[in-house]
Amino acid sequence: MIHKLLQPEGWLPPKGYANGVAARGTTLYVGGQIGWNAQQQFESDDFIDQCGQALRNIAEVLRAGGADPEHMVRMTWYVTDRDEYSRRLAELGPVYRDAMGRNFPAMTCVQVAALVEHRAKIEIEVTAVIPD
């Protein structure tokens, strides 16, 4: 583990995220990534497909900054349909692990009325820290 996960004593362990992360080093901020490809074209309107593409986009931006998914300390997910997100978590898990591995930073997920790109169903932003 390259960062210290923060787990208060007596709390149940979180599933698929961390309650907090302590890190020191070079900070990378990945702007909100959506489910379109490098040519800014949507290949699918399916929620899980868009999540997978957004996560792969994040991994690419991290690599461009000299980081990898294990350097993530925070993710914020913006979804247009909370119920679909909750209903499809079992499908989302393998897609997440395929792109991010077993790296689970502090996460927040909120439902929004809409995203700037009309077809987008998900937008994810990340903060990562490369240790000194």
Task: Give alpha helix (H) positions in 4-72.
Answer: 47-64
Residue 86 CB burial class (10 angstroms; 0-12, 13-18, ≥19): exposed
Task: Identify the weakest region by mean pLDDT among 10-14, 42-46, 75-79.
Answer: 10-14
Q: Among all chains, which residue has been given the structure tokens 């997100």?
A: 85
Torsion sign, CA atoms 105, 109, 115, 116: negative
- Using one digit for the tens of pLDDT, what is the confidence trace for 48-65? 999 999 999 999 999 999
- Asked whether the whole model's pTM tops 0.85, one would answer yes
pLDDT at 40: 97
